[in-house]
Structure 1
Amino acid sequence: MGSPHDQAYRLLKEYSNGFMVSQVLFAACELGVFDLLAEAPGPLGSAAVAAHLGISCRGTEQLLDACVLLKLLHVEMRRGEAVYANTELASAYLAGTSPTSQQHMLLYVARTTYLCWAHLAEAVREGKNQYLKAFGVPSEELFSAIYRSEGERLQFLRGLGDVWSVEGRGVLAAFDLSPFPLVCDLGGCSGALAKECTSLYAGCHVTVFDMPDVVQTAKRHFSFPEDGRISFREGDFFKDPLPEADLYLLARVLHDWTDDKCSRLLARIHGACRTGGGILVIESLLDADGRGPLTTQLYSLNMLVQTEGRERTPAQYLALLAPAGFHDIQCRRTGGTYDAILARK
């Protein structure tokens, strides 16, 4: 066993090389490694992978071996040649054909989020997002930056669909939502969470409320059940009249905004909500002391570099919901990345 000094140095090297690990994962996704191996009739050698993908043999072998060490690929020797196959992790979460694939979100992180994180020091120094430095877009044009092209918008919407394919049912089942037949998903993007909601609660109808460009992209690129239980409405939830509903979903929305803007939005929701109705806030919650868990702490830094918001503790959400008029505020930890807070009008 090494000395404490040796252990500390190893930990330092692990942290400082962390971005390399991320880039191995991102590159393998972007090049189509996991999709190719998912579709292949059996394990493939590096030369075959390179030939199928039209990439260099040297780079392919190095990338595949790095993926093996990261437990993304299996390797075995057959007739003197190393051949590769997806691990269970890759089959479930990295192959595009998997119903729980996270590929779209990973590509969004690689192409957008990663570039913003290159300016983390500036974000901390200035206390604001870094779209101007990363993409030449002023911070006040935040959502023009996030959706700076149709392709970028579609990537983000598909990425959120990836997230809710794994996390959606858990957060929607944290409370019994069956008493709320009319649901409005504010900022619901592609309607992925709405699909999970109608699948879980047979009696509900969900209206997805989002910006016009987002709604039009969702209608062009995503399919929906033909039972009519999911509908879309265009608008800006800070300015336009909100659809009347028994329950409003705010999933990964409040973390984008300052406390002041969150308070304004929550007051608008309270005014539109039916008496006896409520609001379900779905966010990655910080611990009570605001220092952890690590994933949520990193997400909070991500809000710094990409938005004007932050992740919050349950008490901080309570401090936003109660002044807006909501009561009977309950918080449920789901055991996943995202948790749920239900409040009543």
Structure 2
Amino acid sequence: MSDKRKLVLFAACELGVFDLLAEAGPLDAIGVAARLDTSPQATETLLDTCVSLRLLTRDATVSPAAYGSTRLSRTFLARGSPLSQTHLLSYTATTVYRTWAHLASAVREGRNQHLRAFGASSRDLFSAIYRSEEERLLFLRALQQTWGVHGPPTLTAFDLSPFARICDLGGGLGGLARQCAALYPNSRVTVLDLPEVVAVARTHCPLPQDARVNFLEGDFLRDPLPVADLFILARILHDWTDDRCRHLLARIPGFPVPLSRPPVVSPSPDGPGARAGGGVLVVESLLDADGRGPLATQLLSVNMLLQTEGRERSAGEYHALLAAAGFSHLQVRSGLGLYAALLATQ
């Protein structure tokens, strides 16, 4: 989707077009404008453009023409849908696109563009993302919605039921952890994240009293890590340089105590089955071995340049990082959508 098309999408989401038509459609342009308090003529222009983008329908058999939602807009663009991506789109519009305006500078300097885009230090990766309480919550909700779509295929790429104690490092509001606990009812999941993130999670996403998910405050680059049989690193390593990744992976403790039962992981041509003793599940978008594709991952890597100190990598590059930390057995499951799952064991 081109930039202008994305801006149409962002505007329609911000105005609540898809929410309105999912709940009250079909409506004509005057009816939409009246409910959204927008210009009728401009609203019709926006609606017709959304129709051309196949985000809405237009019924010209009635007069005036009536606009309605599509399956795609009801599923991903309406706030009430469990698979809604509206927070992700809003974060992309307000934060991501502002850094992309400085791509040439990022290439010249080889560093993120927080300073130019937001006046925030380029050395603190999350100073721009967390530049206000509202932006912090928006970013965390965006990640939550990402895992609403991509969580199930990555968490079921391998049988994780042998891992009774699971720790999701940098797990945000706990979206992936909740899915993991639901898929593997004999497991307990700890989300380790910064104190300010945990505070947001407890305020906006409180857990039931008997939940098998709990939050732990800490910095995974500095503080002691909890005891766990499996550590999940979902969209974490791509934030960091190779040296930082090696540092983080080296901090993951060994597993001298065997699991209660042997792991059951299907054999893979990419490596042997998982062994008792624990492991690391990495969830990232993978580049081809030569780095020349796929395009979606290349664009994500450019985004990492603009916003972090990291990049996207190939399966071979992740294998090298994991092997250096003692995780010599690696299995890869790709073809899961935008992300792949890599299960590494010692």
- Structure 2: how far apart are the matches of 1:272 and 1:106? 40
Aligned with residue 182 of structure 1, among 138, 156, 165: 165
Measured on the aligned residues, the alpha-carbon RMSD in Å equals: 1.3
Aligned residues of 2:147 and 2:176 also touching (Cα < 8 A):
yes
Runs of 4+ off more than 3 Å = 270-275
**Structure 2 CA distance for partners of 1:62 and 1:118, relative to 1, 3 Å:** same
Aligned residues of 1:174 and 1:334 also touching (Cα < 8 A):
no
Aligned residues of 2:13 and 2:86 also touching (Cα < 8 A):
yes
- Structure 2: how far apart are the matches of 1:97 and 1:268? 40
Equivalent runs, 1:197-236 vs 2, <5 Å: 197-236=180-219
Structure 2 counterpart of 1:31, one-letter code? L
Q: Offset of 1:272 from its aligned partner? A: 7.3
Q: Offset of 1:335 from its aligned partner? A: 2.7
Structure 2 counterpart of 1:149, one-letter code? S
Report the 3-state secondary structure (helix = DSSP H, G, I; strand = E; otherwise coil) of the residue aligned with 2:344.
Answer: strand
Paired position in structure 1 for 2:338: 337
Q: Offset of 1:224 from its aligned partner? A: 2.6
Paired position in structure 2 for 1:12: none
- Structure 2: how far apart are the matches of 1:199 and 1:207? 14
Post-superposition CA distance 1:186-228 (Å, at most 9, x none): 0000000001101100100000000000000011001334423
**The 10-residue stretch of structure 1 (271-280 or 110-119) with the greater mean CA deviation from structure 2:** 271-280
- Structure 1: how far apart are the matches of 2:98 and 2:324? 37
Paired position in structure 1 for 2:47: 64
Bigger helix fraction: 1
- Structure 1: how far apart are the matches of 2:208 and 2:88? 23
Structure 2 counterpart of 1:232, one-letter code? F
**Are 1:34 and 2:18 counterparts?**
yes
Report the 3-state secondary structure (helix = DSSP H, G, I; strand = E; otherwise coil) of the residue aligned with 1:245.
Answer: coil
Equivalent runs, 1:228-307 vs 2, <5 Å: 228-271=211-254, 276-307=277-308
Post-superposition CA distance 1:15-60 (Å, at most 9, x none): 8xx11011000010011000011110x3111111111111111221
- Structure 2: how far apart are the matches of 1:218 and 1:316? 33
- Structure 2: how far apart are the matches of 1:228 and 1:254? 28
- What is the count of residue pairs matched by the alignment? 328
Q: Offset of 1:69 from its aligned partner? A: 0.5
Report the 3-state secondary structure (helix = DSSP H, G, I; strand = E; otherwise coil) of the residue aligned with 2:302.
Answer: helix
- Structure 1 residue ranges without an equivalent (≥5): 1-14
Paired position in structure 2 for 1:94: 77
- TM-score, normalised on structure 2? 0.92
What fraction of aligned residue pairs are identical, expressed as a percent? 59
- TM-score, normalised on structure 1? 0.93
- Structure 1: how far apart are the matches of 2:125 and 2:244? 14
Structure 2 counterpart of 1:317, one-letter code? Y
Aligned residues of 1:283 and 1:339 also touching (Cα < 8 A):
yes
